[in-house]
Structures are given as C-alpha cells and as structure tokens.
C-alpha cells in the first residue's frame, strides 16, 4: 500500500465487538479436522421436495424482485400456520413480513422501535446479536439474569428492571443456548407484568418447532394481550434445515409492522424470490413442520444416551437443537479455553456459554449442537468418550 495514501481512522459503532464465537469455533474446527458441534446449523440437507420446488419456481420465472413485504402466497401461508398452531390470526397484508433470516428481523425490529436513550431488557445468557442491535439503535441493554438453576425467566427481576426508559424486552423460547422453554404460566406472568406499561416485546421463536417430551411452545402469539405488544420472529432456515437460505418472517400488530417495514425496505428491501415461492407451496402441508419435534427429539436422545456414561453432566434440554453440559468433572479451564482445547485435542467443537453473558458464568458449561447426521453424532460421541 502506498504510504502517501492515508485511510481515515474509522470510529467504531461497536468497539467491543469482534468476530463472533460461532465463526471462530467453526474455523478452528475446520483447521483441526474436528467434528463441528459448535455453530448451530445442520450437516444434512433440506427435504428434496422443497429443493425441487425452488428449482420449479426459478424455471417458472420467479427470479425478479418480489414485493418488499414478501410474496403474498408466503405471507398467507404463514398467517394460516400461526392460526393453526396458536389460534391467532395475523393479517397477511399488514401484519406479516418476510425477512432475510431471523437476525435481520431482530435487528430491524430494534432499529424500528427503539430510540437513542431507551433501555431494552435482555435475559442473560442471550443470543449474541441482541446487544449489538440495541447498541446500534443508540439504546442501552439492561441485562437481567435468567434463573441460575434452570435458565427460567425471573419475573420479579424483570419487574425490578423496568423503568421510565424501558422501551422493550427481548425474550427467546426455546432458548439458545440452554434449550429451556417458557411455560405458559411464565408467559402469562410476563403479560400481567407488562399490562400497565408501554413496553414492547420482541419474541425470538426461531426454534418453535423443536419442543420435546410432549411439551407445548408458549408462543407470544397464543396470548392476545401479549401479542398486541409483540413482534414475533421465526426462521424458515432453522425450521426446514436450510440455514444458508436466510429466510425468516415477522408477525406483529399492524401499527408495529408499519414501523418495521419502514426500516426493512432500506436495509434489505426484499428477500430471495424463488425460495419464497417454494416455501409458500411447502407450507401447504402442515406435516412438514408438525413432525419436527419427534425428528429432533430422536437426535437429542441419541446424543444424550451417548454422553450418559461420560464425565460431562447433562443439563435438561426441553427444546431447540442444543445440548448444554457441565464439564466441571473434566476440566478447571474457563469455558472458552475448554472449548478450544476440546476442539484441538479431542476433535469435537463446542460453544462456550460466556459469549452469551455479560459476566462470567457461575458454572462451567459448554453447548453442543445435535442437528447433525447420526453418523456425525456417533463420531463425536466416540471422541468424547475419551474424556
């Protein structure tokens, strides 16, 4: 580079943010030939029938910009799906928008509804995109710890964190990283707590179809009073094993959605057209998502059974496709160092809990992703047996 040409020094909007732990651990896994149970993506493909529908859509000429809000047929299919599952009708024209994945949806919701000087409550540990989104909006994240014994929401602590600047709270069920799901009584308690306030809710429900042992997903959509103040976010990529497609959706009351769309149109404008047409046709068969709890529960059970005799203590996994373990009997390393050691020396990549938290976790916990082929899980289990 010519030393005479000076690049002005940027002033970072996110000075404390580096490369995400998910990218770091995936790169480390590739470098060392480790089985990657770190980053949350399947190593198997989506349904061939869905892939064929994408091809058909492309050959049918669906290759130009779709409407900014999403292909009408897909918005209608999402509306029917939510009504079928949770008994709430969202108007597909004014209350549903198709997004470029859930992360874009979450950022857009925050930028649209949160203002400089506002406060947004997040429940620690939380997914690592929440706090940077709040920072970019010029607001302040107020971290409220989940209960240390079971990662459930502490409603009293949330109530104590509410203040005159509180604009929103971000909730997540099934929870990443713990796999905990909200109970209906916890959802109702939050509803009662927020009833006298103007606080909005952003509900991250991307693992909505991965709830196990006969439990029910306590969607914010299923409570009319809570739904009236909530932006619900979900992900087709997570649901249908096609995370690289980056297609998700948002459902919200029309007044909130109008603001969401103002930002959406300027940060992505619109979303991949043939994928939208394919998903609209695929959603016509509810069996494509109603069978997912059993599909992932079998993988969870296979993985848990393989670890049952190890020195890794299994934490409960009620939903999502993540299994957390307490590794205290194996190592005294902090969680980031342990996960690096596990990747480089044992050959299995995991994700530490600390990047999800403001303060160092009280327990030594690592997170594995079991959304993998059985052969992948078996190979990882063979290596973990050496611990």
Given 251, 270, 288, the domain boundary residue is: 288
Q: Report if residue 221 sits inside a domain.
A: yes
Q: Report if residue 134 sits inside a domain.
A: yes
Q: Report if residue 12 sits inside a domain.
A: no
Q: Report if residue 256 sits inside a domain.
A: yes
| Residues 119, 182 within the same domain | yes
| Residues 348, 221 within the same domain | no
Taking the CA atoms of residue 33, residue 363, residue 184 and residue 165 in that order, the dihedral angle to the nearest 10 degrees is: -100
Q: Report if residue 355 sits inside a domain.
A: yes
| Residues 183, 38 within the same domain | no
Given 271, 288, 305, the domain boundary residue is: 288
What the block records as the tokens of 314 is 């299994």
| Closest C-alpha to 328, from 312, 341, 345 | 312
Q: What is the pLDDT along the chain (387 residues), one digit of tens a residue?
A: 556 899 999 999 999 888 888 888 889 999 999 999 998 889 999 999 999 999 999 999 999 999 999 999 999 999 999 999 999 999 999 999 999 999 999 999 999 999 999 999 999 999 999 999 999 999 999 999 999 899 999 999 999 999 999 999 999 999 999 999 999 999 999 999 999 999 999 999 999 999 999 999 999 999 999 999 999 999 999 999 999 999 999 999 999 999 999 999 999 999 999 999 999 999 999 999 999 999 999 999 999 999 998 999 999 999 999 999 999 999 999 999 999 999 999 999 999 999 999 888 889 999 999 999 999 999 999 999 988
Q: Report if residue 9 sits inside a domain.
A: no
pTM of the full structure: 0.95
Sequence-separated (6 or more) residues with CB below 8 Å from residue 38? 22, 25, 26, 29, 339, 343, 349, 350, 351, 367, 368, 369
| Residues 323, 349 within the same domain | yes
Q: How high is the pLDDT of residue 219?
A: 97
| Residues 187, 307 within the same domain | no
Q: What are phi and psi of 105, to 5 degrees?
A: -60, -45
What is each CA distance from 66 to 81, 100, 236, in whole angstroms? 21, 13, 17
Q: Report if residue 39 sits inside a domain.
A: yes
| Residues 250, 303 within the same domain | no
Which residue range(s) make up the domain with 68? Answer: 64-288
Please say whether the beta carbons of 206 and 322 come within 8 A.
no
| Residues 99, 228 within the same domain | yes
Please say whether the beta carbons of 351 and 177 come within 8 A.
yes
Please say whether the beta carbons of 104 and 263 come within 8 A.
no
Please say whether the beta carbons of 299 and 377 come within 8 A.
yes
Helix (H) or strand (E) holding 140: strand 140-145
| Residues 222, 180 within the same domain | yes
DSSP assignments along 168-235, one per residue? EEEEESS-TTT-----HHHHHHHHHHHTTS--EEEEE-TTTT-B-TT-----GGGSHHHHTTEEEEEE
| Residues 32, 89 within the same domain | no
| Residues 340, 238 within the same domain | no
Please say whether the beta carbons of 116 and 139 come within 8 A.
yes
CATH of residue 303's domain is 3.90.1150.10
Given 257, 288, 319, the domain boundary residue is: 288
CATH of residue 273's domain is 3.40.640.10
What is each CA distance from 284 to 46, 86, 175, 210, 351, in whole angstroms? 17, 17, 28, 20, 36
d(CA 247, CA 241): 11
| Residues 229, 83 within the same domain | yes
Q: From the CA atom positions of the chain, what is the Rg in Å? A: 21
| Residues 206, 95 within the same domain | yes
Parallel/antiparallel/unpaired status of strands 230-235 and 200-204: parallel
Give the bridge partners for 213, in sequence order. none
Please say whether the beta carbons of 43 and 25 come within 8 A.
no
Q: Report if residue 58 sits inside a domain.
A: no
Q: How high is the pLDDT of residue 2?
A: 58
Looking at the structure of the chain, the number of domains it has is 2
């Amino acid at each position: 580079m010519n030393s005479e040409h000076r690049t002005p020094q940027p002033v970072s909007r996110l000075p404390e943010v580096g490369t995400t732990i998910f990218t770091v651990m995936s790169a480390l896994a590739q470098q060392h030939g480790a089985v990657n149970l770190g980053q949350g993506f399947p190593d198997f493909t989506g349904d061939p029938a869905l892939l064929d529908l994408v091809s058909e859509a492309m050959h049918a000429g669906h290759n130009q910009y779709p409407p900014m809000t999403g292909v009408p047929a897909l918005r209608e299919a999402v509306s029917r799906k939510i009504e079928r599952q949770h008994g709430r009708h969202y108007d597909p024209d004014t209350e549903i928008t198709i997004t470029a994945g859930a992360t874009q949806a979450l950022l857009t919701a925050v930028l649209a509804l949160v203002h400089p000087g506002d406060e947004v409550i997040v429940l620690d540990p939380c997914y690592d995109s929440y706090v940077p989104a709040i920072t970019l909006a010029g607001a302040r994240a107020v971290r409220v710890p989940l209960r240390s014994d079971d990662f459930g929401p502490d409603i009293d602590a949330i109530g104590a964190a509410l203040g005159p600047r509180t604009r929103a709270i971000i909730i997540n069920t099934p929870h990443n990283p713990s796999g905990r799901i909200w109970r209906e009584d916890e959802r109702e308690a939050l509803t009662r707590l927020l009833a006298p306030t103007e606080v909005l809710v952003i509900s991250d429900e991307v693992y909505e179809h991965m709830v196990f042992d006969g439990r029910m997903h306590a969607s914010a959509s299923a409570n009319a009073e809570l739904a009236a103040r909530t932006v619900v976010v979900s992900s087709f990529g997570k649901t249908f094993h096609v995370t690289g497609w980056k297609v998700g959706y948002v459902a919200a009351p029309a007044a909130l959605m109008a603001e969401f769309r103002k930002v959406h149109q300027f940060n992505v404008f619109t979303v991949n057209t043939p994928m939208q047409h394919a998903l609209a046709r695929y959603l016509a068969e509810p069996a494509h998502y109603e069978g997912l709890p059993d599909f992932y529960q079998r993988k969870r059970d296979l993985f848990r059974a393989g670890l049952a005799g190890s020195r890794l203590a299994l934490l409960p996994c009620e939903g999502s496709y993540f299994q957390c373990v307490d590794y205290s009997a194996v190592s005294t390393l902090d969680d980031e160092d342990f996960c690096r050691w596990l990747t480089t020396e044992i050959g299995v990549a995991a994700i530490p809990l600390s990047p999800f938290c403001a303060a160092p976790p009280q327990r030594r916990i690592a997170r594995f992703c079991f959304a993998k082929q059985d052969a992948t899980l078996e190979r990882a289990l063979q290596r973990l047996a050496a611990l």
